[in-house]
Structure 1
Amino acid sequence: MHLFFRRSAWHRLVGIVLRGRFRVADDATAAPRPDDAPQVHALGVDPDRIALIGNGPACGWGVRSHDLAMPGHLARALSAATGRGADVDLIADPDVTAATAPTLLGSRRLRQYDAVVVVLGVRDAIRMTSVRSWRESVSALLDTIEDATVESTPLVVMGIQPPSSVQLFHLAPGGAADRQADRLNAATRALLEGRRRASFVPAPELATPVEGDARITSGARFRPWAAVQAAALAPLLDANVLAGRSARGERNRPQGDEERLEAIRGLGLLDTPREQRFDDIVERARILLGTDGAAFSLVDDRRQWHKAVAGAELTELPLAASFCAQTIKSGVALVVPDAWSDDRFVSHPAIRFYAGHPVETADGVRIGALCVVDAEPRSADSVDLVLLRELALAVQRELAATPSAPQPTP
Structure 2
Amino acid sequence: MSCPPHAAGITRVRHLEFPKGDTNMYEFLRPIMRAWYATEIAAGGSSPKPLDAPTVTATQPGADNVLLIGNGPLHGWGVLTHRLAITGHLANECRAETGRPCSVHYIGDEAMTIASTRAWIGDHNLAQYDAVVVVLGMNDAVRLTPLKKWEEDYRALLEYLTEKTNVGTPMVVAGLQPVRSVTPYNKALGNVAEFHAGRMNKVVEDITSDFSAITYFRLPEPVMDPGMPLGSTSVYRSWASDIATHLSLALDTVRALNPTPPKPLVETEYAWSGTKTLIDQAATGGSDELQRLAALAQDTFAVDLAGVSLIDGDRVWFAVNTHVLPKSAPAELVYCNAVVQQQAPLVVPDAQKDPRFKGNAFIDITGMDFYAGHPLTSTTGETIGTFCLYNSSPKADTAVSMEALQILAMQAETELRRYETTPATPDPVAPEHSLLGL
Kept in 1, the 8 Å contact 2:273–2:420? The answer is no
Give the C-alpha shift of residue 265 in structure 1: 7.3
Residue 8 (structure 1) aligned to one of 18, 23, 28: 23
1:206-355 aligned at under 5 Å gives the runs: 206-207=222-223, 214-215=229-230, 218-244=232-258, 248=262, 251=263, 263=269
SS in 2 for 1:180: helix
User: Per the alignment, do residues 129 and 46 of structure 1 end up closer, same or farther by CA in structure 2, a change over 3 Å counting?
Assistant: same
Kept in 2, the 8 Å contact 1:113–1:247? The answer is no
Give the C-alpha shift of residue 152 in structure 1: 2.1
User: Per the alignment, do residues 5 and 116 of structure 1 end up closer, same or farther by CA in structure 2, a change over 3 Å counting?
Assistant: closer
Tell me the equivalent position of 1:348: none
Tell me the equivalent position of 1:321: none
Give the C-alpha shift of residue 50 in structure 1: 0.8
1:9-408 aligned at under 5 Å gives the runs: 9-29=24-44, 30-42=46-58, 44-172=60-188, 175-207=191-223, 214-215=229-230, 218-244=232-258, 248=262, 251=263, 263=269
Between the aligned residues of both structures, percent identity stands at 33
SS in 1 for 2:242: helix
Give the C-alpha shift of residue 233 in structure 1: 0.8
Q: Partners in 1 of 2:241 and 2:157 — Cα distance? A: 24
Q: Partners in 2 of 1:196 and 1:242 — Cα distance? A: 18
Q: Partners in 1 of 2:96 and 2:20 — Cα distance? A: 52
If the length of structure 1 is used for normalisation, what is the TM-score? 0.58
Q: Unmatched 5+ residue regions in structure 1?
A: 270-402
Tell me the equivalent position of 1:373: none
User: Per the alignment, do residues 68 and 212 of structure 1 end up closer, same or farther by CA in structure 2, a change over 3 Å counting?
Assistant: closer
Give the C-alpha shift of residue 236 in structure 1: 0.6
Kept in 1, the 8 Å contact 2:57–2:103? The answer is yes
SS in 2 for 1:67: helix
Kept in 2, the 8 Å contact 1:165–1:173? The answer is no
User: Per the alignment, do residues 178 and 245 of structure 1 end up closer, same or farther by CA in structure 2, a change over 3 Å counting?
Assistant: farther
User: Per the alignment, do residues 130 and 49 of structure 1 end up closer, same or farther by CA in structure 2, a change over 3 Å counting?
Assistant: same
Give the C-alpha shift of residue 172 in structure 1: 4.5
SS in 2 for 1:98: coil
Q: Partners in 2 of 1:172 and 1:227 — Cα distance? A: 31
User: Per the alignment, do residues 87 and 26 of structure 1 end up closer, same or farther by CA in structure 2, a change over 3 Å counting?
Assistant: same
Give the C-alpha shift of residue 8 in structure 1: 1.0
Q: Partners in 2 of 1:26 and 1:62 — Cα distance? A: 13
User: Per the alignment, do residues 247 and 23 of structure 1 end up closer, same or farther by CA in structure 2, a change over 3 Å counting?
Assistant: farther
Kept in 2, the 8 Å contact 1:43–1:79? The answer is no
Kept in 1, the 8 Å contact 2:179–2:186? The answer is no
User: Per the alignment, do residues 138 and 247 of structure 1 end up closer, same or farther by CA in structure 2, a change over 3 Å counting?
Assistant: farther
Q: Partners in 2 of 1:34 and 1:197 — Cα distance? A: 31
Give the letter aligned to residue 11 of structure 1.
Y
Give the C-alpha shift of residue 61 in structure 1: 0.8
Give the C-alpha shift of residue 174 in structure 1: 7.6
Give the C-alpha shift of residue 94 in structure 1: 0.9
Kept in 2, the 8 Å contact 1:125–1:181? The answer is yes
If the length of structure 2 is used for normalisation, what is the TM-score? 0.55
Q: Partners in 2 of 1:19 and 1:181 — Cα distance? A: 15
Tell me the equivalent position of 2:8: none
Kept in 2, the 8 Å contact 1:240–1:246? The answer is no
Q: Partners in 1 of 2:420 and 2:150 — Cα distance? A: 46
Moved over 4 A (4+): 209-213, 262-269, 403-406
Give the C-alpha shift of residue 147 in structure 1: 1.1
Kept in 1, the 8 Å contact 2:130–2:170? The answer is yes
User: Per the alignment, do residues 172 and 223 of structure 1 end up closer, same or farther by CA in structure 2, a change over 3 Å counting?
Assistant: farther
Give the C-alpha shift of residue 191 in structure 1: 0.8
Give the C-alpha shift of residue 72 in structure 1: 0.6
Give the C-alpha shift of residue 243 in structure 1: 1.4
SS in 2 for 1:175: helix
Q: Partners in 1 of 2:190 and 2:42 — Cα distance? A: 25
Kept in 2, the 8 Å contact 1:117–1:157? The answer is yes
Q: Partners in 2 of 1:70 and 1:181 — Cα distance? A: 21
Q: Partners in 1 of 2:60 and 2:270 — Cα distance? A: 27
Kept in 1, the 8 Å contact 2:127–2:165? The answer is yes
Tell me the equivalent position of 1:299: none
Give the letter aligned to residue 66 of structure 2.
I
Q: Unmatched 5+ residue regions in structure 2?
A: 1-18, 276-417, 422-438
Give the C-alpha shift of residue 10 in structure 1: 0.5
User: Per the alignment, do residues 137 and 235 of structure 1 end up closer, same or farther by CA in structure 2, a change over 3 Å counting?
Assistant: same
User: Per the alignment, do residues 82 and 119 of structure 1 end up closer, same or farther by CA in structure 2, a change over 3 Å counting?
Assistant: same
User: Per the alignment, do residues 10 and 17 of structure 1 end up closer, same or farther by CA in structure 2, a change over 3 Å counting?
Assistant: same
Give the C-alpha shift of residue 103 in structure 1: 0.6
